[in-house]
Every structure is written in structure tokens, then in C-alpha cells.
Amino acid sequence: MSTVPNSSHAKQLADSQNAVPLNLVAGKLSRRELRRRMWHMLPGFTPFVLWPIEHADPLSPTLKLIILAVAVLVAGSIYVKFRHVSRDSSENRAEAVLGYVMSVLGALLLFPAHPEIGFAVLAVLAFGDGSATFGGLVFPSRSLPWNDDKTVSGMFSFILMGTIMASVIYWGEANPGVDWMSAFLIAAPTSICAAIAESLPVRLNDNVRVGIVAVIVAPIAQYFVLGF
């Protein structure tokens, strides 16, 4: 004959059923997923490498060639090894790789006198989008109302890391220099809009969506905050 558990036991049972075990979280962050996060974020450190190198705005042809060469090298490496980081065989690697690279290069070419815009786009893609999956897996939360496959914690992680890193990179690259608040006011709406684009339930690869939105919003935000 079954017995009815007391209220405290019932609560403990419910909590144990709803809790996400640490080993399950670690399982979700598999070696493949960690590799994917690394490749996603690695290009975002490029602006930090350029900081010690004296360069003027607009970027010189030599520096443009260096950035282009680095972009081609990274994109080519990811394209060749994409099956080692893809989540499933149906993922379009051309969309994923080109959406990422072309967004950044497009911003640098469209606004050659303001490379800080292109690097802010890079920061949002690398650290914002790169943190969304990590945050969603490590910090389980409710799904977004408009997309069951995306979580509140994932979107919050995107906005937080995207805003912080885009602010730092924009501030460090801007010439003449800008204050922290101006950099934040440009980075925040760019990251928020890009996070919304990343969360939409559409089939187009999120690198394409995030990149296009960031390229559109960042210069608009700069126009209203600092002008051109």
C-alpha cells in the first residue's frame, strides 16, 4: 500500500525533480560546445591586440590588409573545421561563417573613419552572441515568450556581455577618445537589438541576424550620441 508523503518530504521531492544537476549542466557544455564558444569568442580579442599598435583613423591600407588577412585566416579555419563545432549536420556553415565575418568587414568598409563601429559589431557577435548559449545552459531559466528554444538567462547573458565588451572595445578604439558613458550608450542599444534578433524563431543563422542588426544599430546610436 502506498503512503502519502508529508509536506516537507513532498517539497524535497519536487525540488529534486526540478533541480538541474551539476553533471547535467556539464554534460550540456560538452567539449564540442566549449570548442564552439572558444571559436566564437576568439576573434573578439583582435581589437585588444591592435591597441598597442599605433594607427590612425581612417585605417591605413596596410592595417586593412592585416585585418582582412586575419579575418580570412580565422574564417577559413572555422569553415574547414566546422563539423567539429556544429551542433547538427543541417547547420549551414556558409551562413554561420560568412554572416560573422562579413558583418564585421562590412562595418569596417562602410565606416572607414570609425573603425570603433566595426569593432563594436565584432564585440557583440563574439562576446554577446557567444555568451547567450553559455548563459542559457549554465543558468537554467524560463523560455522566452516568443521562442521556446531560447531562455531569459541566455538573452540576459547576451545583453550583459555584449554591452560590457562592446563598450570597452568602442571606448578603446575611438579616436578622438570618448567617455565611458558615450561608449555605453552606443553599445547598449546595439547589444539589446542584436539580442532580440538572435532570439527570434527564424531559420536564418543567428550570426547573420545579429551581424546585420548590429551593423545597422551601432552607427545610428553613434549618430544620436556623438554624431559623425
pLDDT digits (tens, 9 = 90+) for 45-74: 888 888 887 777 787 788 778 888 877 887
Cα–Cα distance, 118 to 48 (Å, whole number): 14
pLDDT in tens, 127-168: 999 898 888 888 888 999 999 989 999 999 999 999 999 999
Burial of 24 (0-12, 13-18, 19+ CB in 10 A): exposed
Mean local confidence (pLDDT), 86-114: 80
Cα–Cα distance, 165 to 128 (Å, whole number): 8
Question: Is residue 152 within 8 Å of residue 135, measured between CB atoms?
Answer: no
- Choice between 205 and 82, residue whose per-residue pLDDT is larger: 205
Nearest to 128 by CA among 160, 86, 153: 160
Q: Which three cell numbers stand for residue 51?
A: 591597441
DSSP 87-144: SSTTS-HHHHHHHHHHHHHHHHHH-TT-HHHHHHHHHIIIIIIHHHHHHHHHS--PEE
Cα–Cα distance, 43 to 211 (Å, whole number): 14
**Reported pTM:** 0.80
Nearest to 68 by CA among 36, 94, 101: 101
pLDDT score for 169:
96
